[in-house]
Amino acid sequence: MLLVSACLLPGMLHFTMEWGLIVPVQLLWCCSCCAFVEWLCNQWLKLHTAPLSNFSWLVTGMLLAKSLPPFTPAPYCLGAAFIAVGLVKYGAGGLGKNRLNPAMVALAVMALCFYQPLHQSGEMNASYIRTLPWQEVLLHFFSTSLPSLPDGMSSATPLTRGNSAGAYSWSWLSFAFGGLILARLKIIRLEIPVAILLSYVTFELLMGHSLWQACQRFGLGGLVFAAFFIATDPVTSPLSQLGRWIYGGLIGAIVSLARCNGLYPDGIAFAILAGNLITPHLDQWLWRWQNRQTA
């Protein structure tokens, strides 16, 4: 878990350079909320284990902080932590027993139930937010009131149908770098992120975009970040190599379709949850197929 957290740091630092102090503030808050919920669940269930020793709360907090739009109000981040750790992780029986990715369930619930706050956060302009002093950042983050943008300044791509998946960010390069380190250390398998990106580009081409446009859209939303750090969760992804290719291909296709036709600009959470749901059946189907081939 600590290695995964360390490999997330380059991308988070790059993201901080683009958005300013709100990124470390939201990151610390999300990690603290996940640690609190982890401790609370251990106390409530009376588990005789060190509740924070495996650092899974740290990874979940970092994933939530990046998945939620900058300036997501603090109470909503706390609610997301309760959903991810309390409901999904401990509701399934604890670490390693959840069928769905906790951070993506939390993001999907927040997107469905609290569209307006996330919509407003998604319209923030990075170049303006980066200039805010820390006092104003803390004031707006914990008071749930977003800073007022100057006239004529807003994000180029709000959360509405037909628009792109948020403001462009070059931090995807740093997240890809961290993901490649995880692959080099054999913590994740590269089949899933490669399949997601190839499938995404293929569907973008089928929808009339050029190859350059398809690759350029890697920097919109959290596609590359999710491909390396969320979709590769060993608990919720297929066991077989062929299964990982199919799983990644499905996620990439859904993301492309959601970006072009969906209400939400990214669709990452819904795509990964769809992949999580099919994973147990995919493993069973491939196992039976392989047995028939060898029989």
Residue by residue, pLDDT tens for the chain (295 residues) are: 789 999 999 999 999 998 888 899 999 999 999 999 999 988 887 776 666 778 888 999 999 999 988 888 899 999 999 999 999 998 887 777 888 999 999 999 988 888 776 766 555 666 777 778 888 888 878 876 666 555 444 433 333 333 344 556 788 899 999 999 999 999 998 999 999 999 999 999 998 888 888 888 887 778 999 999 999 998 888 888 889 999 999 999 999 988 887 777 678 999 999 999 999 888 888 888 877 777 6
Q: What is the dihedral of CA 48, 55, 221, 226, to 10 degrees?
A: -80
Q: Give the phi and the psi of residue 185 in degrees, each rounded to 5.
A: -85, 0
Structure confidence at residue 202 (pLDDT): 92
Report whether 76 contacts 114 (CB < 8 A). Answer: yes
Side-chain half-sphere exposure of 135, counting CA atoms within 13 A: 0
Q: Which two tokens stand for residue 124?
A: 């923030």
DSSP 147: P
Report whether 121 contacts 70 (CB < 8 A). Answer: yes
Please give the Cα distance from 147 to 129 (Å, whole number). 8
Structure confidence at residue 283 (pLDDT): 83
Structure confidence at residue 209 (pLDDT): 83
Structure confidence at residue 150 (pLDDT): 53
